Structure 1
């Protein structure tokens, strides 16, 4: 087979792959489309196998250092607790974990800090898996609920906690209001989220717009807010005492993107466990992970931290 034929086959295969990637995008349509996506990711077990109990990025220090992928995720939870001042709160503090996934962060908050944790997610399959992974004697429960219309009364929790749930919310102002509404007076909100650069200050350029479009379409995201915008939404609720404290954790979380791809190489038994279909599903996520690394590495996206106290 000639070199030109090989190149031609490669280019045709690459083109077909790109077309399939774009055509099969999981665009946000409603909360149901988000629930369906997470149900599928939970049912096949691939995401849990490679990402563990924490479906969020890891914390690698500042400056970042080499660290075990799963350990970095657990470290993120402890760093967030410390940053938010939650380690100063007493045991039995009531916490709402909004967008709890399969409950990894909820279990750490209950096990290591003695908090009474309620985790909510839009995905029934995530609730079921979170319950399966949680010891019966741990003070944690999981419910199906919609963060855009929480079922809890006003002033229900001492702490509201959320990691990387915001991009799935179609109306960031409503999301901010719901988070603050269910906090008790004096309660603490701590949020970690993927954010877009504030395009009011610097509009997206010719290559950033299509990259951002893919980051939204591939993982059922209606929009990313900027750090500045979401802080403004929180303060606009009229429920914040003083001002919202923010921080940029892009640097300590940045290694997570390439590290997540490396897991597929470093842990090849996943190829046996999940077979050919699992391999295809895993490879399907690589372009989005690379685009995420590009976006966060160039400043198109930022990893935002938010802390607010309910007045």
Structure 2
């Protein structure tokens, strides 16, 4: 009985500490530096990589969703996105810019499995360093620090521009859209996957959705979410899109990722040994946001949007 009380007490203390940490340490977007610093910290301590692997994005569980290994679902997402975007039909040697490349998981798949020449850019110097460490010699994937709102490449530099879950960290969606398309070669492809909110022009946020959205923005350095409809309009407004932007909604295919990411902390207990109490508290701190994400995507407040556009020849 005493052992049970002690265990319960420790669990309650840890949960309370994590909850207080969550409420007291919101990571609101302040500038691009606040995003870079957040990812630098997560990359340096290795906690995110331990639980999420080399792909810091959601997984694809099929349509309809099926039970799948969390890390395998992430790799599958890259292949599904490549097929959806038409990259699987492109020849080896195709030049690809991976905007918001993280620690290079997608870039390495595109280089190794498709034979592309990939350049990955991220605003986090530590992510670049880790991506370089994880990339085998001879693989045609290189990494550099760059700002998605002001890319350092000349116009028309790449056959394909690719981006996964970067947009929510970008305050100026117009500059983001213009830069993504500016560096695509005429006739080339832009393929983007992103978290989006519902189009509030059609259905404004209600009383419970407003505080939930505020937490989703404040906790992970997100200045603003676009809607699928809104960002496709923003892309078309650049004048760089041939015809219309093609969109799709992958909410259901990616939805299991949120609870699976929490489950990793339970089925991989050696993380507690590896990272200690600090790592446990830091990981526990993210659980409320993950649950809110599951709520938002499960109820239609948020949607997982896919975007495909062809660059005009002008």
Shorter-chain TM-score: what band?
over 0.9
Displacement after TM superposition at 1:136 (Å): 1.2
Q: Does 1:167 align with 2:168?
A: yes
Displacement after TM superposition at 1:21 (Å): 1.7
Structure 2 match to 1:119: 120
Structure 2 match to 1:51: 52
Structure 1 match to 2:262: 261
**Equivalent residue runs for 1:24-35 within 5 Å:** 24-35=25-36
Structure 1 unaligned blocks of 5 or more: 2-6
- The number of residues matched between the two structures is 306
Displacement after TM superposition at 1:35 (Å): 0.2
Deviation track 1:197-238 (CA, whole Å, cap 9, x = no partner) reads 000000000010000000000000000000000000000000
Deviation track 1:217-264 (CA, whole Å, cap 9, x = no partner) reads 000000000000000000000010000000000000000000000000
**Equivalent residue runs for 1:212-251 within 5 Å:** 212-251=213-252
Displacement after TM superposition at 1:23 (Å): 2.1
Deviation track 1:100-140 (CA, whole Å, cap 9, x = no partner) reads 00000000000000000000000000000000000110001
Structure 2 unaligned blocks of 5 or more: 3-7
Asked whether the 8 Å contact 2:18–2:282 carries over to 1, the reply is no
Tell me how far apart the structure 1 counterparts of residues 137 and 70 of structure 2 sit (CA, whole Å): 27
Tell me how far apart the structure 2 counterparts of residues 180 and 41 of structure 1 sit (CA, whole Å): 30
Tell me how far apart the structure 2 counterparts of residues 93 and 151 of structure 1 sit (CA, whole Å): 20
Structure 1 match to 2:5: none
Q: Secondary structure of 2:286's match? A: helix
Tell me how far apart the structure 2 counterparts of residues 12 and 133 of structure 1 sit (CA, whole Å): 37
Q: Secondary structure of 1:293's match? A: helix
Tell me how far apart the structure 2 counterparts of residues 13 and 276 of structure 1 sit (CA, whole Å): 9
Tell me how far apart the structure 1 counterparts of residues 156 and 207 of structure 2 sit (CA, whole Å): 45
Deviation track 1:243-297 (CA, whole Å, cap 9, x = no partner) reads 0000000000000000000000011111111111010011010000000000000
Structure 1 range deviating more: 15-24 or 184-193: 15-24
**Equivalent residue runs for 1:97-136 within 5 Å:** 97-136=98-137
**Equivalent residue runs for 1:1-311 within 5 Å:** 18-311=19-312
How large is the RMSD of aligned CA atoms in angstroms?
A: 1.8
Tell me how far apart the structure 1 counterparts of residues 141 and 104 of structure 2 sit (CA, whole Å): 9
Q: Secondary structure of 2:274's match? A: helix
Q: Secondary structure of 1:160's match? A: strand
Tell me how far apart the structure 2 counterparts of residues 148 and 65 of structure 1 sit (CA, whole Å): 37
Q: Secondary structure of 1:170's match? A: coil
- Output the TM-score relative to the length of structure 1: 0.95
Provide runs of 4+ in structure 1 moved above 2 Å.
9-20
